[in-house]
Structure 1
Amino acid sequence: MRLIDQDTLDALEGSRPADNLTVWAWRGGQLVVPEPLNVKNWSADDEAGENVKVAQRIGITVADPDGTLGAWRFDDPLGVGGTRLQIIYNVGGASAVNFGWFRITGNVPTEYRESRIINEYGYIEPDGSLPPHKKRVWITTAAVSLTVVDITSDVDRDRLQAPQSPGAGATVISEWKRLTGRYFPTVVDPGVTDTGLSRQLVYEKERLEAGQDLLSRVSARYRMGGDGEAHIYPQRGPVVLRIEPNQGLINVSRSQSIDGLYNRWVVEGKNEATGDPIFGVKDIENGPLRYGGDHGQVPFFYSSEMITTVAQATTYAEKLRDEFLGNLAVELSAEIIPHPELQAGDRVEIGCPVPAGHVVYLPGDITSISRAGSPIPGNTTLTVSCSYTDVLAALDRTEWAQHITDEMPELTWDLMPGSWGQLPPILWSEL
């Protein structure tokens, strides 16, 4: 989550003047355009996940009245040869949020030219068709579309020129800093525990991918902060924001797909002595996805010559099954009022009304954020991945509470935010 002060956070929930962006263009520590860019429209996408390298991508269209911002040379002010944009999100009636620093990766100018005929006494157009005292003038209207990405992209392009290994005493965090320190400082967020590394570890070509793999060893990920610093953050951090219906939450929806819902894991190996194939199998034995139940029979196959015994194959099949069950999730799509401080990877709580007439609060990790403005920001769309176990637990609590209310109507209570603390004391043990 980007840094934000409490007054600005409070302003996000209330009526306020329109928000806007301030965008400065820099190269080599110097401004290359003396004034902030005149933003006409913009869109921003932010992602988090195991295979996401460069998380933040932004498209910006800026006005170019005199036609000087469309790049010809790589070192033109908005050329792709090293210009960075500093983007600041101004919350109307409050303060500002440093949104981040981004590298320009694309510059596409669009120019519109039209001519007008004006009176100019004494002017005669050479070899022209205009009568004396008439002159044709050209008017140019231009805009430039910029593609920008967060500055981890610089690390991604800087591939290793030869294989490397950690030095003596290296840790995950120290190696991350060594691999990326040329491009930005690193801040380690609370909840990340460092660990040592073997000197036998070898990185091949991909510098950023090596850093990503290192952080996975301590269940952490990386993302850029608002001041150009990288943050190492835990994969499952604390809840940073509760989003309430009829307040910050505009609407929320969910979807299901049958794709990838396996219920049997078949692991194949090879007997080390005879070379004959061996197999290990593990099933989901209970619940709606149980093998052979209403969901059917949906096997997943894995093969490795490193597996040489039935016991190894069975153990690995069990591991794959348990990882699958642990990663089952319900994906929510939530439209909310603008919250510029939120980033992909943040953990939030979404208030979801249910048919029983209550609201259940589902914790989940933001996997993507989409924002846009013309230039005033519109609503923000979040994709939030909620653990299937957490969802079932929340729904079970609501169904239990509704049952108690139906059976004993004299014991009623409000199930809105914070209401679980208002339950009659005699019922706490039942929860």
Structure 2
Amino acid sequence: MLKGAFTTYWMADLYYAGDRRMQNLPISEPAFADDGDSLVQFTGSCTVVYQDDFAESIAPEDAGGILAPFGAELAVYVIVSDGEIFSERIAMGWYRITETPEISVSTASFLDRIVTVGSVVKLTLQDRMEGVQADQFDAPGSPAQLLSTFREVNRVSGLQLTKDVADAPIARSIAYESDRLQYLYDLIGGLSAVPYMKPDGTLGQRQTAWPEPVDTLRSGERGTIIEAPRSMSGEEVYNRVVIRATSDSQTQILATAQLDSGPLAAPSKSNPRTPFGRRTYFYSSELVTTTAQAEKLAPQLLAQVSATRATRLEVTEKFNPLREVGDVVYVVRPEGTPLGRIKSIDRDGGATQKLILEMQ
């Protein structure tokens, strides 16, 4: 949390083909959404207002323009400063320019010629997953090898990796059709993680298991919360688990478990219709090679995926550029101090940001 009289402003470095073309480019009207439930998780928009010392325009006129949406990228930063001694540059995200919905150039007459006074370019941004998603496979296929997930991830994505989890073999059941990005999610899902783009532009892995808490959110003079209304959602709550696996002898293994009572009960022979209906969580793992293992794991998984993390908390808090999707935090509430995991963050140029937390 920022304490004291600090100011924040947004800037960006412009890259093309790995080369930095412009540094410390001021941006205005920032609006960025970090959504852990989306395939392309980090999106945003901003406006570049630029005046060149030599009366040159940076407004794109064709595919080769410096801000054209054909491969140009922005490394976006927030500058936190007290105006005198302290100043820190914090990386917020690495984005591809995908659209320039508004372009305008101001000109003036000078010494019988027209010169550029300034350029205003509005940009639509998506993280580097957009490039992976756009590059569809020509035909269905399977991994080039099964020994290393990270080697296959690097082959299909072309992205530089930051290894946040341990590497592991690829399950024999994994294959792809046309969607390269979905295949990337399937591969890293085998490591019990989710792929995401780090602010430095590398591909990271966010563990699906909840990590240790990193902060405590509270209201009042000592806290960061402005308001925190609660909501309920049935998404990602399951009442049935199916484990699919393959034995060492290539025999198919199938194990199931389900809730038969309570408000989340799944339909059964004795109760074919239930209010919540059937919500099945499918799981496979290279480590499950016997029926006994699968039958032991199924009820354990069911306890996890049927846990009533159906409550979501919407938090408006003071701007904090260090907050990340996937962070686990304590939330001080009148009824206690439960844990929550950040699912999404919305930021703009204001003094606050909005979080959605999945609560335990």
Deviation for aligned residue 1:383 = 0.1
What does residue 56 of structure 1 align with? 42
* Residues in 1 aligned to 2:154 and 2:218: alpha-carbon distance in whole angstroms: 38
What does residue 76 of structure 2 align with? 87
* Residues in 2 aligned to 1:105 and 1:206: alpha-carbon distance in whole angstroms: 19
**Cα 1:141/1:329, change in 2 over 3 Å:** same
Please say if residues 170 and 190 of structure 2, whose CA atoms lie closer than 8 Å, have aligned partners that are also in contact. no
* TM-score, normalised by the number of residues in structure 1: 0.63
Which letter does structure 1 place at the counterpart of 2:319? P
* Residues in 2 aligned to 1:259 and 1:199: alpha-carbon distance in whole angstroms: 29
What is the SS of the residue equivalent to 2:338? strand
**Cα 1:210/1:261, change in 2 over 3 Å:** closer
What does residue 314 of structure 2 align with? 333
Q: RMSD over aligned Cα, in angstroms?
A: 3.8
- Confirm or deny that 1:207 pairs with 2:196: no
* Residues in 1 aligned to 2:19 and 2:338: alpha-carbon distance in whole angstroms: 46
What is the SS of the residue equivalent to 2:150? helix
What does residue 109 of structure 1 align with? 102
Deviation for aligned residue 1:21 = 1.6
List runs of 5+ in structure 1 lacking aligned partners. 1-11, 124-136, 268-279, 304-314, 355-359, 388-431
- Confirm or deny that 1:148 pairs with 2:134: no
Percent identity of the aligned residues? 22
Higher strand share: 2
* Residues in 2 aligned to 1:138 and 1:76: alpha-carbon distance in whole angstroms: 18
What does residue 24 of structure 1 align with? 13
| CA deviation map 1:184-227 (0-9, x unaligned) | x21222xx344322456422222221110122223201211222
Please say if residues 262 and 299 of structure 1, whose CA atoms lie closer than 8 Å, have aligned partners that are also in contact. no
Which consecutive segments of 4 or more residues in structure 1 shift more than 6 A? 112-116, 137-141, 258-263, 317-321
Which letter does structure 1 place at the counterpart of 2:155? R
* Residues in 2 aligned to 1:48 and 1:345: alpha-carbon distance in whole angstroms: 8
**Cα 1:327/1:206, change in 2 over 3 Å:** farther
What does residue 289 of structure 2 align with? none
Higher helix share: 1
Which letter does structure 1 place at the counterpart of 2:41? A
What does residue 216 of structure 2 align with? 242
* Residues in 1 aligned to 2:107 and 2:145: alpha-carbon distance in whole angstroms: 67
* TM-score, normalised by the number of residues in structure 2: 0.74
- Confirm or deny that 1:161 pairs with 2:154: no
List runs of 5+ in structure 2 lacking aligned partners. 243-255, 268-272, 281-294
* Residues in 1 aligned to 2:28 and 2:4: alpha-carbon distance in whole angstroms: 23
- Number of residue pairs the alignment of both structures matches: 314
**Cα 1:383/1:257, change in 2 over 3 Å:** closer
Which has the larger displacement, 360-369 or 90-99? 90-99
* Residues in 2 aligned to 1:253 and 1:172: alpha-carbon distance in whole angstroms: 41
Q: Which is greater in Rg?
A: 1
What does residue 418 of structure 1 align with? none
- Confirm or deny that 1:362 pairs with 2:357: no
What is the SS of the residue equivalent to 2:214? strand
Deviation for aligned residue 1:83 = 0.8
What does residue 42 of structure 1 align with? 30
- Confirm or deny that 1:173 pairs with 2:159: no
Deviation for aligned residue 1:175 = 2.1
